[in-house]
Amino acid sequence: MKKLILVAFVALFSFTVNAQDKDQFTKDTEKLMVILIKPSFKPVIAQFSGMVPDDKKEAFKKDVEATMPQLYSDMAKIYMDEFTHDEIKELLKFYATPVGKKMAEKSGDMSQKGMMIGQSWGMKIQGLLGKYQ
């Protein structure tokens, strides 16, 4: 009987530790999402804000900001499927460095510029398709 109680205790303790680790894993991953997503979405939010009358811009920005935690949470789930908690911790360490901070800060502008280059490239490919049809 003592062995059964000991096994049950160890199992319960292990589950509790894993649940706590999962909670910290989620927190760390969501923290990473804030670092990665917030700067990337600044140009997008600015673009949408341009479509809103000036007297409503602040309210719009506030409403958009209110949606961000859910976005961070949803994106964290994707990252948690692809990365271990230790890997997320390593990414957080990187993004705490000067070059990591710069990368996060510049990511939105770089994404916009990259999309423009990608669109231009896509148009070239469409031109090549005509050659082979």
* pLDDT value at 14 more than 70: no
pLDDT of residue 6: 41
Averaged pLDDT of the chain = 85
Q: Whole domain around residue 34: which residue ranges? A: 2-132
Contact (Cβ atoms closer than 8 angstroms) between residue 65 and residue 72: no
**pTM, rounded to two decimals:** 0.70
Range of weakest confidence among 17-26, 34-43, 123-132? 17-26
* pLDDT value at 118 more than 60: yes
Closest of 96, 104, 41, 90 to residue 69, by C-alpha = 41
Q: What is the mean pLDDT of the segment spanning 64-87?
A: 96
The number of domains in the chain is 1
Q: What is the mean pLDDT of the segment spanning 113-122?
A: 94
